[in-house]
Amino acid sequence: MPSRKAKIKWPKASEKDERRSFDQRLQTIFQSSLRGSIITMRDIIYNKGRERFGELPQRKVPVKHSGIREKEILQLVKEGQGPQKRGPEEPVEPDQS
């Protein structure tokens, strides 16, 4: 399975000058690339955005900590003595006195 691309630190929506200059630069690149290059627009935008704005740091996946009771149950399951499923209870018949 291919790994995901790193996320880009795009400028905020309020930074209009930064966005406008990036758009103008992309327009010139697109005009020159449409003449003969076969690189897709998506790849161009991603690569130029990564070069100019950088990448976001990757999040660390939190480690799952299991509680004492969960550890005990897992140990019992491994030993074959895990909690047994209960069947349906027998219905109680009313007294007919």
Q: What is the pLDDT of residues 23-81, one digit of tens each?
A: 998 888 877 776 655 667 788 888 889 998 898 888 887 777 888 888 888 888 888 76
Has residue 88 got a pLDDT over 60? Answer: yes
Give the pLDDT of residue 37: 58
Give the pLDDT of residue 78: 83
Give the pLDDT of residue 20: 92
* CA 60 from centre of chain: 11
Tally of CB atoms within 10 A around 22 = 18
**Domain range list for the chain:** 1-58
Local structure of 21: helix, strand or coil: helix
The angle subtended at Cα 36 by Cα 21 and Cα 42, nearest 5°, is: 50
Has residue 16 got a pLDDT over 80? Answer: yes
Which one is predicted more confidently, 19 or 2?
A: 19
Which residues lie closer than 8 Å to 33 by C-beta, 6 or more apart? 39, 44
Q: d(Cα 33, Cα 26) in Å, to the nearest integer?
A: 10
